[in-house]
Structure 1
Amino acid sequence: MSEVLEDDPRFRHAVVLFNAGQWYACHDGLEELWHETLGPDRPVLQGILQIAVAHLHLERGNQRGATILLGEGVGRLARSGSEALGLDLVHLRQASTARLRCLQAGGDPAALPLPSLQPQP
């Protein structure tokens, strides 16, 4: 299933949107795919989706919502391996975890790098 999903133009477009910080549009694309996906790729998609929505909350000034969803997304991805869907999940988890810890400490993660969806090394 993941090879098919990796080749889906909607998935590739959602990755581009995620990396461009276009969280709302990315969310729409990923959510559609998430509803259609079964198996081990489903929680990975959900984790990525939650991280995108967390950043949408941050843009809108909702730090509490961002903290909750970032924590859920990181937690969901922690149960996955280091790679899925052709993506480097270690990198995604590390960047997201750093931003989550900053939020949990009451800080502003704006100075930290945004998470990105990078291809597997």
Structure 2
Amino acid sequence: MRDRDPEGRARNARPRDGLGRPLPYGVPGVERQPEGVPRTPSESLVEAQRLLDAGMPFHAHEVLEDAWKLSDGPERELWRGMAQLAVGLTHAARGNTNGGASLLRRGAKNIAPYLDVPPHGIDIAGLRDWAAALATTLDTASGELPLAANTPHLVRR
């Protein structure tokens, strides 16, 4: 029988660790981010940064994915790219260096059109450079990536 959420939609109820990896039923896990939460761009960035700083890029990805999926305007690809950067970091932290590099490059490509006029104080240039450097590192890396040394800053400081 499939796990279902309160609305009856299929949803895996297995607990997850800080990187979003499923754990066995009954094992304590990390609280999952609620899905479909409407936030302002600023709220999305603050929450995603908090989660990145806490070593939870999978959860940050879910926040940024909400911003992407709830956006229908000209910033839709920006939020998609931001979510791809966070999930790329997730894959790298899990040891999937090929997938991580691929997603980091795809995310950097999707945020690049916003370079000239970065919305919401997002550090597009810094994120693009961070993603390119990390993807290059992952091309020759193996094993899990330490998050503390590789966490990006989403907004200009």
TM class, shorter-length: 0.7 to 0.9
Tell which structure's C-alpha radius of gyration is larger. 2
Q: Equivalents in 2 of 1:20, 1:40: separation in Å? A: 30
Corresponding letter in the other structure for 1:68: S
Q: In the alignment, residue 96 of structure 1 is paired with which amino acid? A: A
**Percent of residue pairs identical:** 29
How far has the Cα of 1:112 moved from its partner?
Answer: 6.1
| 1:103 matched residue in structure 2 | 138
* Greater RCO structure (CA 8 Å; 6+ sep): 1
Which of 106, 111, 122 is equivalent to 1:72? 106
Note if 1:5 corresponds to 2:40.
Answer: yes
Can you list the C-alpha shifts for 1:33-82, whole angstroms capped at 9, x where unaligned?
A: 21111222211111111111011111211111101111101111122224
Aligned counterpart for 1:91 among listed residues 117, 120, 126: 126
1:46 to 65, 80, 100: 80
Tell me, which stretches of 5 or more residues in structure 2 are unaligned?
1-38
1:30 is matched with which residue: 64, 86, 99? 64
SS of residue paired to 1:107: coil
Please name the residue that 1:116 is paired with. 153
Higher helix share: 1
**What is the CA–CA distance in structure 1 between the aligned matches of 2:128 and 2:94, rounded to whole Å?**
22
TM-score, with structure 2 as normaliser: 0.62
Q: Tell me the number of residue pairs that the alignment of Structure 1 and Structure 2 aligns.
A: 115
- CA distance in structure 1 between the partners assigned to 2:46 and 2:96 by the alignment: 28
In structure 2, relative to structure 1, the CA distance for the partners of 1:32 and 1:26 (3 Å cut) is same
Once superposed, what is the RMSD of the aligned Cα atoms? 2.4
Distance 1:68 1:45 in 2: 17
Q: 1:15 to 1:40 in 2, by over 3 A?
A: farther
